[in-house]
Structure 1
């Protein structure tokens, strides 16, 4: 968010928490992109604040978290001191979560695979209407093919990303018999190492597909520790994921920090992943 919008978002987080009876002495911005994460102290609540246009996504994320917590999934939980729902204030949608102090040690590939196995097992217990991952790929294709949505994307890169999305989407989505609920974007930035163990965050990307689609977001060594994984499919899904990443970075309204760097890096990763395929 731009500085003025960020200030308003932080104030909306503070005001909402105070209105709900939570103590607030200070607000610390943990992450700032198209939505922000704010830690409020001393109450140790993590507040996610997004523009009101993301209401449906925020409500979906809260519902996913509520159901997965009931299934004992390794996920960050909503703050138990307030009603588990999305609050609306000053043009923002707001959800309140438990804050987890990060642990400094690195999550090993074996531990990463173990938390995947437990998370996927919990997801199989949840009855939830979620989009198929190919639906998300179709949105990315529209972004890349529409010059109004991605006006700065050079034509050769547009052709590369569009072709990767279209071709690999069809190849990866053929066998729907193995589909189940997935996290959707379980990359290392969405896996916190806490005193409770590794916990997944950012649950709004929950979708259906093969477990390899999730594994493709993790470091390559992780898949080797996940019993029964199709490694060729992981490679195809990794190229697909990086192509989607490129589509989001080249959107006209993308707000990811250091966007120009990630535009170049994303294209390099697509080419490298295609070579491994």
Structure 2
């Protein structure tokens, strides 16, 4: 968020927490993108704030979190001191979560795979409507196909992303009967190492698809400890995921730090992932 919007988002998050009886003396910005994460002290709560347009995403995330917590999934929980819902304030959606102090402990590939398997097992217990992962690819494809939205893409790179987001994506998702409910983006940035063990966060990306789609977000080597993962499907999922990442980086309004480097690196990773795919 731009500084002026960030200030308003911080004020909205702090105001909601204070109105709910939580003591707030200081606010620290933990993460800032299209939504922000704030740590409030001394009440020690993590507040997520986004423009009101994201209210439905926040509500979906709260519902997923409540259902997963009920089946003991390895996920971060909503703050138990307040009603678990989305609050609205001054044009912002606000949700309140338990804060987990970061631990300087590296998680091994085996531990990562174990957390993901337990997460997938919990997700299989939920009767929850969620979009198929190909719907996310379709949204990215619309961005790539629109030169006004992605004006800096060369013709060759635009064709690469279009083919990956459409043809490769459909080759993975053609048989929708074999998929399950997924986290959607269980990369290392969305896995906290806590005193309770590894916990997944950012649950609004929940979708349906093959487990390899989630595995493709995990660090290299995790798949070796996840029984039954199909290497070819995994390679295709990695290509699709990097194409999705690249599509967002090439949007004119993207504000990711070091964007130019990530633009080039994302395309290189798409090509490298496609090279690892099987015939066809």
Same fold (TM over 0.5): yes
**1:63-212 residue pairs with structure 2 within 5 A?**
63-212=63-212
- What is the root-mean-square deviation in Å for CA atoms of aligned residues? 1.0
User: C-alpha distance in 2, partners of 1:36/1:257?
Assistant: 15
* Counterpart in the other structure of 1:222: 222
Deviation at 1:155, TM superposition (A): 1.9
User: C-alpha distance in 2, partners of 1:185/1:214?
Assistant: 6
Deviations 1:95-151 (A, max 9, x none): 000000111111100000000110000000011110000111111111100122222
Deviation at 1:153, TM superposition (A): 2.0
* Counterpart in the other structure of 1:13: 13
- The total of aligned residue pairs comes to 277
Deviation at 1:16, TM superposition (A): 0.7
* Counterpart in the other structure of 1:52: 52
Deviations 1:9-34 (A, max 9, x none): 11111111000000101000010111
SS in 1 for 2:50: strand
Contact 1:243 1:267 in 2 (8 A): yes
Deviations 1:174-228 (A, max 9, x none): 2323211000000111011111100000000000001010001011200010011
Length-normalised TM-score, structure 1: 0.98
User: C-alpha distance in 2, partners of 1:237/1:112?
Assistant: 18
SS in 1 for 2:234: helix
Deviations 1:58-90 (A, max 9, x none): 111111111111111100101111111111111
Stretches of structure 1 that go unaligned for 5 or more consecutive residues are: none
SS in 2 for 1:48: strand
* Counterpart in the other structure of 1:2: 2
* Counterpart in the other structure of 1:23: 23
Deviations 1:138-176 (A, max 9, x none): 111111001222222222211111111112111111232
Deviation beyond 3 Å, 4+ runs, structure 1: none
Deviation at 1:237, TM superposition (A): 0.2
Stretches of structure 2 that go unaligned for 5 or more consecutive residues are: none
User: C-alpha distance in 2, partners of 1:205/1:253?
Assistant: 21
Deviation at 1:255, TM superposition (A): 2.9
Length-normalised TM-score, structure 2: 0.97
